[in-house]
Chains A and B, each alone.
Chain A
Amino acid sequence: MEYPPKDAPQGSPPAHPVELLETTGSEGGNRRRRTPARSVTGGGKRLGDVLFQNAARGSGILLLAIMAAIAGFLVYRSWDAISQDHSNFLTTFEWNPDNSPSQFGVGVLVFGTIVSSIIAMVIALPVAVGIALFISHYAPRRVAQVFGYTVDLLAAVPSIIFGIWGYMFLVPHMAGVNAWLNSYLGWTYIFKQQYPGSAARSLFTVGILLAIMILPIITAVSREVFRQVPAVQEEAALALGATRWEVIRMAVLPFGRAGVISAAILGLGRALGETMAVALVLSTSSVLSLHITDYGGGTLAENIANSFAEASPFGVNALIASGLVLFLITLIVNAVARIIIARRKEYSGANA
């Protein structure tokens, strides 16, 4: 890499287009030929820049390639399975791919997946935002720091441990709650128990377990976002006489909305795809029932884990088809979240 000659005559044609841009870009009054800024460290596109940009782009392309492979494989296998299904894949309740007219469908599984995730989100999201606000804005500083770390640590608790804890501890303790809901809220139909006194291995218990599982994740991400709220905005609101709640409602929550939504999506993704905890806690059946405190039902991921061991090669394809359905559900959820986040883009620091 060479420096341009210092004694080059004024107005001589620049060595290459980059310098042309730099010279014409300099302020008009200054006629003296300047050393272009870029040439101080070398001419043209810098090697480091080229390497780094290509490495970054390469990772992106690799990610696309993996994704294309997964999608292609999922669709191909699913097509293979669904074309040999002798019942309606979407509305059939039973899962018997290896029967001689093969009959299987995802009706119960989709219902169970969605219902348990909705229960989890309804419980977890407000509580998680509350804890995040507590840590970022309400708790005394020392308490906040300690609990911030604790929440991060709790986010790290593996789902299998939630599963065996749910099986050993939560299920027995849910019996009383279910009985109470049955006697006082039974009229809502949802909380009516058809088999009172049975073990609480129901979608409702699964939903609560999932809520506890995704709580730390939503909290950790939301808190991180709430802490990024510009102090100027909070102070401005305070100076105008706002109470602490008004500061949060007018400055903190609008700023953090996109972040909270992506946190919720992270949590929802985990709830939708949770396999082992559900497989351990839920007592499965092919009954679709809105009585969520009754045992029975199933989820897509749980069904894959439970049926995989004894599945034939065709049964595996059928399971992959149900995996594709799960995949599409999360895709739709993600798309909705993206649209919401895109409308709040102006709060991002990198507004370029």
Chain B
Amino acid sequence: MSDTLRRAAAPADPLHITQRRLPGWAPAAAAVASLALGTLIGTVFGLSSKLQWGLIAVLIFVGGQYALASVVEGRRQAKDRLATSLVWAAFIVAVLPLFGLIYYTISKGAGVVNGTFLTHSMAGVLSTETNGGLYHALIGTLEQIGLTILMAAPIGVLTAVYLVEYGGSKLAKAVTFFVDVMMGVPSIVAGLFVLTVWILMLDMPFTGFAGSLALTILMIPTVVRSTEEMLKLVPNELREASLALGIPKWLTIVRIVIPTAIGGITTGIMLAVARVTGETAPVLLLVFTSQVINTNPFSNPQMDLPVYIYQEFNLGTNASQADAWGGALVLIVLVMLLNLVARGIARWKAPKAAR
């Protein structure tokens, strides 16, 4: 689809049917020139911040491209160039802080993460000592997230199927509306809700499972929404073709509609998982905290990686903040591994045409 566009970006035009064009190397040359100009201005005016140098270079690049193209190629082409340079600039400006964050976490956390850190808990470790670890938090996170996916993913996907494939009734309209409403439930309010109902009213103890309940409330609407969007993008022709062959509706959904959309559905579920894995507040309220290893999510408090990071960071000593960055690195790696595995599954399961 977008290949057509990419090819159109540099058309071979040996016959010179169209108007004059800038040569293919013009954007690269403009980029180099504006970088040089930015550096020059930065040095001459003694601007201390490299950020300002970069910004000046970007402005010169965007403006210069527009001016050059409007002189040589005309207004429409100039607008096109302007959009192109803005898109490139947006990309570069946005990618910098995001990669900066990853780099910062790795540089702070890499020195902390080692065998001891990964296989020991904080039991009996003072906040000024460095021999603790996050094994207890890792176990807690994995179990809580596992339980959450088991509860939220089937409910979410089935609800989305109901809305898209069996929709139209008053019930479906109500569900659509309340999915939106549920989306607006702040994580901390979901935590308060489960706290009052599950722990104060039903008198259940603080457990990992209580945390999963709150996380499930947070995850379901995200899964429904993204799955719904993806199911809607499946062309009706596929459904009609399958039904015309006499295949039952449920088999059509399970074998045709969902596999076509499975890539998007998995992406949606993984985005939801990513969101709930990082949730700190509800877990803090419901799972409580623990410094020792507890592998049973159904009894006694557990630890959880985000809470571990929060707690260690707030202790404020050098050793504990180092532990927090180690925890942050482990959490990022964990979430990204989950993500990659899910993408692998999605790619492997997707029908050939959907790739």
Query: Which residues of A are in contact with B by a Cβ distance under 8 Å?
Result: 37, 40-41, 46, 48-49, 51-53, 55-64, 66-67, 69-71, 73-74, 77, 126-128, 130-131, 133-134, 136-141, 147, 149, 152-162, 164-165, 167-169, 176, 212, 215-217, 219-221, 224-225, 227-231, 234-235, 238, 243-248, 259, 262, 265-266, 269-270, 272-273, 275-276, 280, 300-301, 304-305, 308, 316, 319-320, 323-324, 326-327, 329-331, 333-335, 338, 348-352
Contacts and interface: CB of A to CB of B under 8 A. Distances in A.
Contact of A244 (B8, B159, B172): B8
A350 B164 contact: yes
Contact of A243 (B2, B3, B80, B93): B80
Given A153-B339, A157-B332, 20 more contacts: A53-B166, A59-B155, A63-B178, A134-B87, A139-B91, A152-B271, A156-B271, A164-B309, A212-B97, A266-B225, A269-B183, A273-B184, A275-B281, A304-B189, A304-B281, A308-B188, A323-B192, A326-B189, A331-B180, A350-B232
A219 to B, nearest CB: 8
B90 A131 contact: yes
Contact of B79 (A216, A230, A243): A243
Given A52-B250, A130-B90, A212-B97, A231 B1 contact: yes
Interface in B1-16: 1-6, 8-9
A138 B88 contact: yes
A75 B172 CA distance: 24
Q: Which of B82, B88, B220, B275 has the most CB of A within 10 A?
A: B275
A56 B101 contact: no
A64 B178 contact: yes
Contact of B246 (A40, A165, A320, A326): A40
B285 interface: yes
Given A48-B250, A133-B87, A56 B158 contact: yes
Contacts of B233: 228, 348-350
Given A53-B166, A231-B1, A243-B76, A162 B101 contact: yes
A217 B275 CA distance: 10
Interface string B71-112: 000001101101110111111011101101110110000000
B80 A244 contact: yes
A187 to B, nearest CB: 20
Given A53-B166, A57-B166, A63 B181 contact: no
Nearest to A219: B94
Given A66-B217, A212-B98, A53 B250 contact: yes
Given A64-B175, A67-B181, A216-B98, A56 B77 contact: no
A244 B9 contact: yes
Q: Name B's interface SS.
A: helix
B108 to A, nearest CB: 8
Contact of B189 (A167, A234, A235, A320): A320
Nearest to B4: A235
B307 to A, nearest CB: 8
Contacts of B187: 273, 275, 301
Given A59-B162, A228-B233, A245 B79 contact: yes
Nearest to B284: A305
B123 interface: no
A41 to B, nearest CB: 7
Interface string B176-195: 00111111111111101100
Contacts of B278: 157-161
Given A134-B88, A156-B270, A320 B158 contact: no
A350 B234 contact: yes
12 contacts: A53-B249, A56-B165, A60-B159, A70-B182, A131-B94, A155-B271, A156-B277, A164-B325, A176-B49, A220-B267, A266-B225, A349-B236
B259 interface: no
